Structure 1
Amino acid sequence: MAKKVEKRKEIKKKLLHKYRLVILNESTFEEKISFKLSRLNVFVTGSLFIIVLIGFTILLIAFTPLREYIPGYSSTKLKRQATELTYKTDSLVTVLNYTNKYLDNIRKVLRGDVENNPVNRDSLFEQFKVDPSSVDLTPIKQDSMLRAQVALEDKYNLFERDVHNIHLQLFPPVGGVISQNYDAEKKHYAVDVVAPRDTPVKAVADGTVIFSEWTAETGYVIILEHKNGLISVYKHNGSLNKEQGDFVRAGEVIASIGNTGEFTTGPHLHFELWRNGTPVNPMDYIDFK
């Protein structure tokens, strides 16, 4: 027991034993600086220095761009770019899915593919109701000239219609004799209207031109997209007055009667109405007389 006590005293003595650290001038041996040290002081000072150094290093890595140079740490700029690219990718995927559905719908219209989706006639009427007070019936110069030109050909002129009944039917694209009715069993999803060549063909409702091109089978074709999934198709035209991307109003001239394409037997309009990829009978919504 006495040996242990003596050993502890000896260790304590060594730790507290004073040493003198002197810095001398090598030439003159003049004392410049001196420090009184003990082993305990050196140990405590060294430990504190190491702890401060470690803390400073951690702060330097955590709050400065220097951490980007340490292997294993990713760049903040790269993280931000990766996040932005992720959002952009999600947006592009959404747009791509919408575009694919849109193109599929147009492809069905051109090919005549049919889905068994029932269409509510009353809901279609409801979507195209127009407030008579919001209809501007003031004709411009071009409209007046057009009205004078086709007054004898088409009694359903936009400016002569009864605005109180405008919500009951879509605007007739052309007036004339029905040569072939809508017949889903024979896959004739249209109404063929015979009219003199170059008779103006008009838009049935406000919409945007989504297709205006020549096709071998149906000649000059123009397709309008209206609100709430309604699409109107005009085939075998003699000429087209509108281009893809144009916005048209109900009753505005978009084409003229012709006899173009392989599947035609004379000047007429092949007119189709589609709702969400499903054809509907135009006779239910339009009076072609």
Structure 2
Amino acid sequence: MAKKKKEPKRITKKLLNKYRLVILNEDTFEERISFKLTRLNVFVLVMITSIVLISCTTILIAFTPLREYIPGYSSTSLNQKATRLVSTADSLENVLSINQKYYSSIKKVLTGDVKTVEFDIDSAVQSQKINPEEVDLSPSEQDMQLREEVSREDKYSLFESEKSSTDFSLFPPVKGSVTDTYNVNERHYAIDIAVPKDTPIKAAAAGTVIFAEWTSATGHVIILEHGNSLLTVYKHNASLTKQQGELVKAGEVIATAGSTGELSTGPHLHFELWRDGYPTDPSKFIDFE
């Protein structure tokens, strides 16, 4: 029992024994610095220093860019690039979806593969009617001036409505005899106008050429986009004078009449008018004769 009591006292004594750490000048043996230490003080000092170093290292790793240089941590620049790529990919996906719908509409124009939907001005106006009780229908001075101006415009304005001030008139691409009319039942979504070969075909309105190619069934085809979801199509041409992407003015020559393609039986223009992806009767807006 006496030995067991002495051992703790011996350990405590060793921990509390005082030592002197002296730094001397090697040449003169002059004492420069001296420290009084115990083993317990040295142990406590080492522990505190270790805790401070570990804490500082943790803060550097967690809250500063220095963590990029530690294996296992991703680069901040890489994360930013990844975020930008995700955002760009999302935008491209939206653009691709819109273009896909647009090209699908163009495909329907070329193939004529559409549902039977009849579009005319009366149906458009009817669909845009609103409840008079919910709106102040008192015409303003500007509204009266606008109505007077619209009433003087061409009677073939495609976008004529009480709600819209848009004035967009279509002009005949050629003048000639109508040999085949618009007929939904026979899937003939166009007006055929017989004209002499090489007759200039003119743009029905200002727009952009979005298609100008040869097809086996309809020969040289050119399609113009005029905005407001409106397309005009010109088929069976002998030749085309415009290329895809070019801008054209109303009345500008875009092709010459011919009889190209397997479905043609003589020199004529096969003219189609499309709105919002659906065909409509061109004769309701254009006088071809």
TM-score (norm. length: structure 1): 0.75
- Separation of aligned partners in 2, 1:92 and 1:210: 21
- Separation of aligned partners in 2, 1:280 and 1:173: 16
Q: 1:11 to 1:119 in 2, by over 3 A?
A: farther
Residue 107 of structure 2 is matched in structure 1 by 107
Q: 1:184 to 1:244 in 2, by over 3 A?
A: same
Assess if the C-alpha contact under 8 Å between 2:209 and 2:248 holds in 1: yes
- Helix, strand or coil at the partner of 2:101: helix
- Helix, strand or coil at the partner of 2:36: strand
Report the AA paired with residue 215 of structure 1.
T
Residue 94 of structure 1 is matched in structure 2 by 94
- Separation of aligned partners in 2, 1:122 and 1:207: 25
Residue 204 of structure 2 is matched in structure 1 by 204
Residue 141 of structure 2 is matched in structure 1 by none
> Is it true that 1:220 corresponds to 2:210 in the alignment?
no
Assess if the C-alpha contact under 8 Å between 2:120 and 2:280 holds in 1: no
Question: Shift of residue 33 of structure 1?
Answer: 4.4
Residue 233 of structure 1 is matched in structure 2 by 233
Residue 265 of structure 1 is matched in structure 2 by 265
Assess if the C-alpha contact under 8 Å between 1:198 and 1:257 holds in 2: yes
Question: Shift of residue 269 of structure 1?
Answer: 0.4
- Separation of aligned partners in 2, 1:17 and 1:51: 25
Assess if the C-alpha contact under 8 Å between 1:212 and 1:242 holds in 2: yes
Report the AA paired with residue 259 of structure 1.
S
Give runs of ≥4 in structure 1 deviating > 6 Å: 7-14, 24-30
- Separation of aligned partners in 1, 2:276 and 2:153: 28
Report the AA paired with residue 189 of structure 1.
Y
Report the AA paired with residue 254 of structure 1.
I
When the two chains are superposed, the root-mean-square deviation of aligned CA atoms in Å is: 3.5
Residue 167 of structure 1 is matched in structure 2 by 157
Residue 181 of structure 2 is matched in structure 1 by 181
Question: Shift of residue 15 of structure 1?
Answer: 5.5
Residue 78 of structure 1 is matched in structure 2 by 78
Assess if the C-alpha contact under 8 Å between 2:156 and 2:286 holds in 1: no
Report the AA paired with residue 46 of structure 2.
G
Residue 278 of structure 1 is matched in structure 2 by 278
Assess if the C-alpha contact under 8 Å between 1:229 and 1:275 holds in 2: yes
- Helix, strand or coil at the partner of 2:97: helix
- Separation of aligned partners in 2, 1:111 and 1:39: 95
TM-score (norm. length: structure 2): 0.75
Assess if the C-alpha contact under 8 Å between 1:115 and 1:277 holds in 2: no
**Structure 1, residues 105-149: CA drift from partner, whole Å, max 9, x if none?**
111111110134553525879xxxxx9xxxxxxxxxxxxxxxxxx
Number of matched residues? 258
Q: 1:217 to 1:164 in 2, by over 3 A?
A: closer
Q: 1:15 to 1:274 in 2, by over 3 A?
A: same
**Structure 1 residues without counterparts, runs of 5 or longer:** 1-6, 126-130, 132-161
- Separation of aligned partners in 1, 2:117 and 2:35: 97
Question: Shift of residue 52 of structure 1?
Answer: 2.1
**Structure 1, residues 32-86: CA drift from partner, whole Å, max 9, x if none?**
6431013443243223312321232123324544312323311112101111111
Residue 138 of structure 1 is matched in structure 2 by none
Residue 56 of structure 1 is matched in structure 2 by 56
- Separation of aligned partners in 2, 1:191 and 1:117: 17
- Helix, strand or coil at the partner of 1:35: strand
Question: Shift of residue 204 of structure 1?
Answer: 1.5
**Structure 2 residues without counterparts, runs of 5 or longer:** 1-6, 126-145, 147-151, 159-168
Question: Shift of residue 26 of structure 1?
Answer: 8.5
- Separation of aligned partners in 1, 2:122 and 2:192: 24
- Separation of aligned partners in 1, 2:176 and 2:63: 80
Question: Shift of residue 265 of structure 1?
Answer: 1.7
**Structure 1, residues 217-273: CA drift from partner, whole Å, max 9, x if none?**
211111111212111110111221111001112222211211222221211101111
Residue 254 of structure 2 is matched in structure 1 by 254
